[in-house]
Structure 1
Amino acid sequence: MYLTQGLHRAARQTPDLPATIHGDRTWTWAESRDRVARFASALRELGLEAGGRVAMLALNSDRYHEYLLAVPWAGGIVVPVNVRWSAAEVAFALEDSGATILLIDDTMLPLLPQVRTAAPVLRHVVHVGDGPTPEGTLPYEALVETHAPVVDAMRGGDDPYGIYYTGGTTGTPKGVVLSHANLLVSALGMLATGDLMRPGGRLLHAAPMFHIADGAAWVACTVLGGTHVIVPSFTPTGVAEAIEHHRITDALLVPTMIQLLVDDPATRDADLSSLRTLIYGASPISAAVLDRASARLPGVGFTQAYGMTELAPVATLLLPADHATEHLRRSAGRAAPHAEVRIVDEDDHEVERGTIGEIVVRGGHVMQGYWNRPEATAEALRGGWMHTGDAGRMDDDGYVYVVDRIKDMIVTGAENVYSVEVENALSSHAAVASCAVIGLPDEQWGERVHAVVVLRDGCTPPVEELREHVAARIARFKAPRSVEFVAALPISGAGKVLKRELRAPYWEAQSRQVS
């Protein structure tokens, strides 16, 4: 199995079908294969050798799609970089991975001088934007036009395909090494359910293409030879217009995006009827948001995918039929066809159904390891199972309920409080647009439950009203003892709330980060 296989197949079987649509540019599968082969030739001329790394720092585009195929075609390994990172973080990824070539677009160019200074490993920069090519960079289109196609290197199987850096929500980013087989096993497992994409479909890329969640959807669509419709980044109106204009059939959005899409008055009259499948994941979704989304998109089959970068990325799926049962909506679904899932205790022994423990996963989709971090790899993959660091439980039917990140557990007065449970209760209040729950140091209780809340426009509920709302739904000791109102929560490029940023001001003076 190799990632360029879908490109070869589509170019032979449906050469005139659009492969990518981005703005006013459309490339067929035949044209896409030719452009990929030509850019691969350019990469080799720039010194890319077998196993060499090529990074990309850019918003979504058709050139991102070509990069994801041209690098393995040339024999290299992709290193997609988070566009929300600082120059120092970008340079860290380049130096850590040893990437010698960087593709960069117009929006990221302001970071380039600092990145170049901090990442001496970098030898060539390719400009993939539509503006003038800056001095000291190489024009992407000229490289494609002036190089003759080369033969596919046919890297596949256990050959590393990409190094995907974790979002940094729990500390220093680590490079997750995923093979061709890892990504294809995960994609084929999703497709095997029969509830996701189908041949001839149109997939919308609005989630960032540097992230493995969108990457998994990209692999599945490429395997099927569908059409990739690409917008630079998410905006509610941009997504609604793309769905309506291009008759999108499938999309992957994180819960924050779904909420913005269905709640934005500007999208109320958009025709979204072509949409058949909406995959969501990356963070929990509140019941209230899911209900509003289901009402706005009555013909759509919702699928929740739970996983992580290290799992390429899917571990469990909550399929459309499961969403018809109210209590199952609170779960992350059951093990995907390609995955084994268990809940274990601190000694890695499987616990009884219904008992909270750590979620561990095994299968052909599990990462090869962390780049240049053998000790971290051995710890994460001990016993042959990927230890997710997520706390959860499994019911008698195999449905997994993710309770929290283990390190996000709050211990208050010797009681364990899992923040997701509090967030779900708090988000059901009509005045709450979004929220995050963290533990703060407390002299009396060790830690206290603290809620950071974004209110809906025009709403000003008393703090005590919010506390009582939570206490009416879950145990009173779990209700927030303090509440902070903010205009917006800090969100990573993958759509996750950066709780470390919310905690930092309160814990920086403490010798320990938990009590």
Structure 2
Amino acid sequence: MQITQSLHRAVQAVPHEVCTVFGERKRTFAEVADRVARFAGALQRLGVGDGERVGIYALNSDRYHEFLLAVPWAGGVVNPVNVRWSPAEVAYSLVDCQTEILLVDDAFIGTIAEVREKAPALRTVIHMGEHAAPDGVLDYEELISGTEPVEDVRRRDRDLYGIYYTGGTTGAPKGVMLDHRAMLTSAMGSSISAGTVALRGVLLHAAPMFHLADGAAGNQANLTLSTHVMVPSFTPAGVIEAIQEHGVTNLFLVPTMIQMLLDAPESASADFSTVEQVLYGASPMSETLLRRAQDVFANAGFIQAYGMTELAPVATVMSPADHGRPELARSCGRAAAHSEVRVVDPDDTELPPGDVGEIVARGDHVMQGYWNKPEETEAALRGGWMHTGDMGYMNEDGYFFVVDRLKDMIITGGENVYSVEVENVLAKIPQVESVAVVGAPDEEWGERVHAFVILREGETLTLEEVQAFCKEHIANYKIPRSMEIVPVFPLSGAGKILKRDLRKELWDDAGRSVN
């Protein structure tokens, strides 16, 4: 199994069909294959050999797609950099896995001097933007035009494909090592589990391409000979325009993006009839938001994928048919075709249906480990199972329900409160646009339930109103005892709310530390 195999197949089957679209630029599969082979040759001339890491620090583009194929074609390993990081964090990831070659676009070329200062081993920078390359930096298009195509070295199976750094929501980022077999096992298994495998679709890359969630959707599109449409980054107007102009059939969006898309004025008159599949993940979606999305994307089947980077990234899948069952509204689906999933107690003993414990998974999609972190690897993969850090349970029919992150569970007065449960209730309040619930320090209870709330435009809301609403839905000890109205939430590159940052602010103010 190898990532580049899909491109070889496409050149045989549909060489003159459109492979990538970026702005006004369209390229066929044959053109993309030629460019990939030429850029791979350029990388080899620059010293990329077996397993050499090559980084990319850029917004979405057709060239990003080429990079993801050209690096393994040349024999290397991809290191996609989180574009939300500071230069110091970027340098950390480059130093951590000894990345000596980095591709950069127009958006980030201005930070390279600082990155190089903090990562002195970075010997080569390649500019892949639309403007001229600055002095001391190689030009992507000149490398392609000036290099003859080379044969694919065909890295495969257990050869390392990429090092994907975790978002750091619970601490310093760790480099997740994923091989070719893991990436393709996850892509194939999740496609089969969703029951929506179809050839020649049109996938929109609006989520960041550095993140594995979008990468997994891209791998599925490669396998089905689909067209890739890229927008540099997510904006509601940009997504709506791309859908209508290019007949997009497949979307991957995180719930925060879906919310912004539905709230955009342009969506009221937009034609979304071409969209056949909406894949979402990275964080839960409230029932209210899901219903709104299903009304807007009336022709689309909705698919939820649950997992993590360490699982390449899918563990369970909620199919379109499952979305029609009210009793499964908060489920993340059943174990995907390629994944074995169970719920365990702190001693790693499997729990019966209905009991809450940690969700663990195993299969060929599981990471090799964390780069240069043997102790963390051993802890995460103990017993041969990837320990997700998510608390949940399985029902009698094999459907999984995530109730919280281990670190997000609130213990107040000796009672366990799962923040997701409280958030689901608060999301039903008409004035609430988005919400995050965390534990705040409390002298009496140890921790109290605290809600951070973003309100809809022009709305007001008091803690007393929130508490009165909650009393109709959840036990008293789960009801927020404090609340803060905020304009925005801190987000990871995958669009997840960084609850660690929210907690840290509360605990720092109290003069106490938080993990």
TM-score after normalising by structure 2: 0.99
CA distance in 1, matches of 2:99, 2:431: 47
Equivalence for 1:222: 222
CA distance in 2, matches of 1:154, 1:463: 59
State the SS of the aligned residue for 2:321: helix
* 1:70-98 CA distance string (max 9 Å, x none): 00000000000000000010000000011
Residues 83 and 294 (structure 1), Cα distance of their counterparts in 2 relative to 1, 3 Å cut: same
Please say if residues 410 and 439 of structure 1, whose CA atoms lie closer than 8 Å, have aligned partners that are also in contact: yes
Q: How far did 1:195 drift?
A: 2.8
- Summarize the alignment of residues 364-403 of structure 1 with structure 2, pairs less than 5 Å apart: 364-403=364-403
Q: How far did 1:223 drift?
A: 1.3
CA distance in 2, matches of 1:258, 1:377: 34
* 1:101-158 CA distance string (max 9 Å, x none): 0000111122211100000120100001101211111110000100000110100100
Equivalence for 2:20: 20
More off after superposition, 501-510 vs 470-479: 501-510
Please say if residues 54 and 77 of structure 2, whose CA atoms lie closer than 8 Å, have aligned partners that are also in contact: yes
State the SS of the aligned residue for 1:461: coil
Equivalence for 1:104: 104
Equivalence for 1:175: 175
Please say if residues 190 and 196 of structure 1, whose CA atoms lie closer than 8 Å, have aligned partners that are also in contact: no
Q: How far did 1:264 drift?
A: 1.2
Equivalence for 1:486: 486
Q: Structure 2: give runs of 5+ residues left out of the alignment.
A: none
- Summarize the alignment of residues 382-461 of structure 1 with structure 2, pairs less than 5 Å apart: 382-461=382-461
CA distance in 1, matches of 2:287, 2:191: 26
Please say if residues 471 and 478 of structure 1, whose CA atoms lie closer than 8 Å, have aligned partners that are also in contact: no
CA distance in 2, matches of 1:214, 1:389: 22
* 1:178-234 CA distance string (max 9 Å, x none): 000000000000222353341110011000000000000111111111110111111
Q: How far did 1:49 drift?
A: 1.4
Equivalence for 1:118: 118
Please say if residues 490 and 498 of structure 1, whose CA atoms lie closer than 8 Å, have aligned partners that are also in contact: yes
State the SS of the aligned residue for 1:372: coil
Over the residues paired in the alignment, what is the CA RMSD in angstroms?
Answer: 1.0
Please say if residues 197 and 250 of structure 1, whose CA atoms lie closer than 8 Å, have aligned partners that are also in contact: no
Q: How far did 1:501 drift?
A: 1.4
Counterpart amino acid of residue 274 in structure 1: T
Q: How far did 1:476 drift?
A: 1.5
CA distance in 1, matches of 2:272, 2:195: 19
State the SS of the aligned residue for 1:10: helix
Please say if residues 504 and 513 of structure 2, whose CA atoms lie closer than 8 Å, have aligned partners that are also in contact: no
CA distance in 2, matches of 1:471, 1:71: 56
- Summarize the alignment of residues 37-52 of structure 1 with structure 2, pairs less than 5 Å apart: 37-52=37-52
Counterpart amino acid of residue 181 in structure 2: A
Equivalence for 2:66: 66
State the SS of the aligned residue for 2:108: helix
CA distance in 2, matches of 1:461, 1:372: 48
State the SS of the aligned residue for 1:366: coil
Counterpart amino acid of residue 275 in structure 1: V
CA distance in 1, matches of 2:379, 2:492: 25
Please say if residues 194 and 319 of structure 2, whose CA atoms lie closer than 8 Å, have aligned partners that are also in contact: no
Equivalence for 1:35: 35
Equivalence for 2:358: 358
State the SS of the aligned residue for 2:269: coil
Equivalence for 1:513: 514
Residues paired across the two proteins, number: 514
| Alignment partner of 1:255 is 2:255 | yes
More off after superposition, 294-303 vs 461-470: 461-470
Q: How far did 1:261 drift?
A: 1.1
Equivalence for 1:191: 191
Please say if residues 240 and 266 of structure 2, whose CA atoms lie closer than 8 Å, have aligned partners that are also in contact: no
State the SS of the aligned residue for 2:217: helix
Q: Structure 1: give runs of 5+ residues left out of the alignment.
A: none
Equivalence for 1:498: 498
| Alignment partner of 1:463 is 2:459 | no
State the percentage of identical aligned residues. Answer: 57
CA distance in 2, matches of 1:237, 1:195: 30
Equivalence for 2:148: 148
| Alignment partner of 1:82 is 2:82 | yes
Please say if residues 317 and 335 of structure 1, whose CA atoms lie closer than 8 Å, have aligned partners that are also in contact: yes
Q: How far did 1:513 drift?
A: 2.0
Q: How far did 1:512 drift?
A: 4.3
CA distance in 2, matches of 1:194, 1:480: 37
Q: How far did 1:257 drift?
A: 0.7
